[in-house]
Structure 1
C-alpha cells in the first residue's frame, strides 16, 4: 500500500512538470541538477577519501553552502532559469489580448507599447532577459561565497574574488562564440542558412565542402595561435610568478619539467638581480653550490663568483682551472647542473640532445599510459562493438599516440630551446653578451616558453580548440596585475560583474539563436540545459522531422560539427 502511495506521489509530481523541454521549469531543473553535480561531488571527495581528517561540522558546512540559496547550483539556476522565465513572460506579453476592464492588463499593454517602440529583435529580447537574471544570480553567488569565506577564514588580507575564475571562463567562451561566428561568416558557412531564410539559391555540395574546409582551416590556425600564446605566458609565470597560476597547474608543470627547487629559485633571484655572474651573489651563492655537490660535481660549478660571465678565451681559461672540458667558448652555469643529472647513468649528463630526448621519451611513455584510457574508455562505454573492427582500434591507438607525442614534443622543444640559446648557438654567436642575460627571464627561459607551444600543431585539429579554451582563462588571469585583482575595490568588483553578466548573457543568447557559434562543452552544456536531453548526442530521431523548417540548417550544422 505504501509503495503504491509513493508511486502515485511521484507520478503526480512528474505530471506537474511541463512536457515541453524548453519550458522554464525544465530548464531550471536541468540546470540545478547539472550544477549540483559539478559543485557537490568535488566538495565531497576529501570527506570520502580521508573521512578521519574532516569533522562532521565541516561536512555540514559544505552541504549548507552548496544546497543554500547562495550556493553555486541555486545561483546559476537563477541566472539561467530566470532568463528563460523572463523570456516566457515576454512572449506572453507579446500575445496578450486587450482587456480594458483589467488594470493589470492595461498596464501590461502600455508596457508592451513602450517596448515595441524600442524595436527589439527576438535575440535582443533574449539578451536583455538574460542580463536581468544573470545579474541577480551573480549577486547571490558572490554574497554566498563571501559568507562562506568569512565563516572559514575571517582574515582581512586582500584576496582575489572567488568568482573570478568562473567569470574568466565565461568571458573566454563568449569571445570564442563571437570568433566562431566571424569565422563562419568569412568562410561562407553561414551562407547556406542565410540562403534558406532569404529564398536565395542554396550552396552546392562542392561549395559547402569548400566553405567547410576553409572554416576548419581558419579555426585551427586561430586555436593554434591562442594555445601558443597562452602556453608561453603560463610557462613564463611558472618560473617567475607561480602565485598567478592554480596550484594544480604549478604541480603538473613541475612534474613534467623535473626541476630542482633550488634551480627555480636561482632563476628568480637572477631576475631580481640578486644573483649575477658578473658581481656574484654573497647572500644566494649557496643555492647552486649545494645543488652541484648533490649531483656529484665540484661546488665551484655552482658559484656565480667563480663561473665565467662571458664566453670566449677567458671562459676557456676558467673552465680549464675548474676541470670542465665540455663547455668551451661559452660561460654561465655548466649544462651538467642545468640538466639535473639526466643521462648520468649513460655518461651523457653533459649532452643537451640527450637531456631533451630522454626527458621527452619519459613524458611520452607516461602520456601514453594516460591517453590510452582516455581514447578507449568512451568507446567501451558507448560503442563497444566498434572494437571488433581493427580500423577503429587502430584509429584510437593513433589518437592516443598523437596526443602523447604532442606532450612529449612540448617538453623536448622547451629544453632544447633553452640549450640552443644559452649553450649551443646564440651564446656562442654572441660571446660578448653576459650570461646574466642568457639566463634571465628574457634569455633562454623566454626562448623555451615561445617555442614549446608550437607543438600544438601535432595535436588533432578538433582537440586544439578545447585545449586553447582550457588554458586561455588562466593565461588571461596571469596577465592581470595581481595587486589590482586582489585589491577588491569597487572598480574591480564592477569590472568583474559587468564581464560576468555580458559574457553569460551572450552565451545564452547564442545558444538560443546562433548555436552554430558554440562548440565543445559550451555547445553541449547550454543546449542540454536550454533544450533538454533530446538534442546533440542524446538525439535518437531525426531532428528535422520535429523541428520547424527554419531551424533545420542550424541543426544540420550542429550534427556535422559534433
Structure 2
C-alpha cells in the first residue's frame, strides 16, 4: 500500500537512486562533483588499460623492434592508478570546479530567493525567481572559474631576466599569463549565444507561423544553421592547423595531423609559398625541400624545383596515388573511412555490449559507418578542394602564369580545401549536427584570440564566462529544451533537486 502511494517523480528517478540519501539542496553539488571526477579520471584509466595491454603484447612477442634496447623506467600500473585517482581529488581541478559551480549556484539561489521576497518592488514572482537564479549562477561561476585559474601551469608562466635600477645586476623574474581557461569560457559563451539566438528565432517562428508568413527560405535557414556554423568553424580550424598551428591546442593539432596523414614537407612548401620564400619561376634556394619527396617517391627531380616546375604537379599533393585528382580523392575517402571505423566501431559496440540485440547491433554498425563516412568525406573534401584550386578550376579563372600560380599556392588552394571540408557534416545524423557544431565553434573562436594574454586582462574572460553560464543555467531551469544537445540533458539531470 505504501509503495503504491509513492510519488511518480521518485519512481522516474531511476538513475539517481544513489543520491537519495543526500539532502535535496546538496544533490546537484554531489552529482556535479561525481560527473566532473568521472570525466577527468575515466579517460585516463582507459588510456592506462590500453598501455598495459600494449606492453603485455610486446613482452609476449619478444619486445618488438626495441627488444634489447635500454628503455626508461616506467612506473607500475598500481602507482599510475593511484596517481590518476588522486589527480581527480585536487581542489584546483575540474571536479572541484564543477561542484563549486553547480553547488554554489543552487545554494546561493535558495538564499537569494529568500532575500528577493523581502525586497519591495513591482517584480512578479517568476521574475524574482529568474533574477535570483541568474545572480546566484553568476556569482558561483565567477568564483569557480577563479578556482581553476588559481592553479599554476608551466605553459602560462615565463621566467625573464630584468635589470635592476642601476643596470648592474640582472634578476630573474617570473611572469604569469592568463588564458588557461579560455577554451572553457568560449564554450560557455557559444552555449549562451546559442540559447539566446535560439529563443529569439523560436519566438519569430511562432509569430510568423501564426500570421502565416513563414517562408521556405526561413525553413532552409533553420535547417542549414548548424551545418553552416560547423563549416565556418572547421574552415577557421583547418586554416590555423595549416598556417598557424600554435593557435590550436597541442593534442588537437596532433589528432588533425594523424587524420590528415600528410607529408610535412608538402605543408612546409605551401607555407613557404604563402610567405613568398618560395616563388615560381625564381631560384630562391627552396628546391631541396620538395626534391626530397621526389627522391622518396621516385619522381623526376625537376618536379621539386620551383624555378622549373610551375607549379609543382598535383601528383606531389597526391603523395604516391598517381596523377588523377579524382582517384586520389577516392583513395583518401577509402583510407579515411577505414581509419575512422577503427575509432567509431569499438565505441558503438561498447554501448551495445550492455544489452546486446540484433537491432542494436545493426544500429551501432550503421551509426559507425555514417560517422566514418562523414570523417572520410571531411578529409576527402579538403584534399579535393586543394586540387580544384590548383588544377581543375583555379588556373582556368586566374591564369596559368607564374604570378597566378603563386597566388593559388600562396593560400587560395588551402583556403578552398578549408571551405569545402566542413560541409561533410551533411552526411552526419541531423540529431548530431547541433552537438558537433557547438563543439567546434569555441575552438574556432579560440584561433582568433591569443592563447596567452596579460594577467591583468583576465577579469574580462571571467566576466564573459560568469554571464554566459548564468544565462545557460537559468534557461535550463526555466526551459530545459532550449539548451540543445547532450549538454542540455546533462545539466537538466544535474540541476534538478
Fold conserved between structures, TM > 0.5: yes
- TM-score category, normalised to shorter length: 0.7 to 0.9
C-alpha spacing 1:190/1:467, structure 2 compared with 1 (3 Å): farther
**Which has the higher mean CA deviation after the structures are superposed, 44-53 or 223-232?**
44-53
Residues of 2 paired with 1:351 and 1:58: CA distance?
Answer: 50
Residue 261 of structure 1, CA deviation: 0.9
CA contact (8 A) 2:179 2:453 kept: no
Aligned to 1:504, which of 469, 477, 489?
A: 469
Residue 121 of structure 1, CA deviation: 2.9
What is aligned with 1:530?
495
Q: The residue matched to 2:410 in structure 1 has which SS?
A: coil
CA contact (8 A) 2:340 2:375 kept: yes
Residues of 2 paired with 1:453 and 1:15: CA distance?
Answer: 45
Q: The residue matched to 2:299 in structure 1 has which SS?
A: coil
Deviations 1:179-223 (A, max 9, x none): 3323332333999xxxxxxxxxxx9xxx9xx99x99986543110
Residues of 2 paired with 1:44 and 1:474: CA distance?
Answer: 26
Aligned to 2:417, which of 406, 425, 448?
A: 448
Deviations 1:139-198 (A, max 9, x none): 12211x22x64999989476552211211121222222223323332333999xxxxxxx
What is aligned with 1:300?
302
Query: What 5-or-longer segments of structure 1 have no aligned partner?
Result: 1-12, 96-111, 192-202, 309-331, 343-348, 533-562
Matched, 1:401 2:407: no
What is aligned with 1:80?
102
Alignment of 1:375-386 (within 5 A): 375-381=348-354, 384-385=356-357
Residues of 1 paired with 2:220 and 2:361: CA distance?
Answer: 27
CA contact (8 A) 2:156 2:452 kept: no
CA contact (8 A) 2:176 2:455 kept: no
Matched, 1:352 2:317: no
Matched, 1:517 2:482: yes
Residue 340 of structure 1, CA deviation: 0.9
Matched, 1:435 2:400: no
Residue 58 of structure 1, CA deviation: 9.1
What is aligned with 2:65?
none
What is aligned with 2:133?
126
Matched, 1:412 2:364: no
Matched, 1:17 2:17: no
Residue 408 of structure 1, CA deviation: 2.1
What is aligned with 1:53?
74
**Which has the higher mean CA deviation after the structures are superposed, 509-518 or 154-163?**
154-163
Residue 394 of structure 1, CA deviation: 5.0
Residue 35 of structure 1, CA deviation: 1.1
Residue 32 of structure 1, CA deviation: 1.2
Matched, 1:469 2:438: yes
CA contact (8 A) 1:189 1:215 kept: no
TM-score with structure 2 length normalisation? 0.78
Residue 239 of structure 1, CA deviation: 0.9
Deviations 1:440-497 (A, max 9, x none): 12x11111111121221222111111111111111110121x3xx4232422x12210
Residue 509 of structure 1, CA deviation: 0.7
Residues of 1 paired with 2:364 and 2:155: CA distance?
Answer: 48
Q: Which structure is larger by alpha-carbon Rg, 1 or 2?
A: 1
C-alpha spacing 1:40/1:228, structure 2 compared with 1 (3 Å): same
Query: What 5-or-longer segments of structure 2 have no aligned partner?
Result: 1-17, 56-72, 161-173
Aligned to 1:113, which of 119, 122, 125?
A: 119
What is aligned with 1:7?
none
TM-score with structure 1 length normalisation? 0.70
Q: The residue matched to 1:434 in structure 2 has which SS?
A: helix
Matched, 1:423 2:391: yes
C-alpha spacing 1:61/1:458, structure 2 compared with 1 (3 Å): closer
CA contact (8 A) 1:183 1:218 kept: no
Residues of 1 paired with 2:269 and 2:40: CA distance?
Answer: 39
Matched, 1:186 2:204: yes
Q: The residue matched to 1:509 in structure 2 has which SS?
A: helix
What is aligned with 1:288?
290
Residue 375 of structure 1, CA deviation: 4.1
Q: The residue matched to 1:121 in structure 2 has which SS?
A: helix
Q: The residue matched to 2:354 in structure 1 has which SS?
A: helix
Residues of 1 paired with 2:305 and 2:270: CA distance?
Answer: 14
What is aligned with 2:167?
none
Deviations 1:397-422 (A, max 9, x none): 44333322222222222222222211
CA contact (8 A) 1:220 1:461 kept: no
Deviations 1:44-77 (A, max 9, x none): 6666647953599998887666424333222321
Residues of 2 paired with 1:288 and 1:150: CA distance?
Answer: 34
Q: The residue matched to 1:479 in structure 2 has which SS?
A: coil
Residues of 1 paired with 2:107 and 2:182: CA distance?
Answer: 27
Residues of 2 paired with 1:257 and 1:381: CA distance?
Answer: 34
Residues of 1 paired with 2:104 and 2:147: CA distance?
Answer: 13
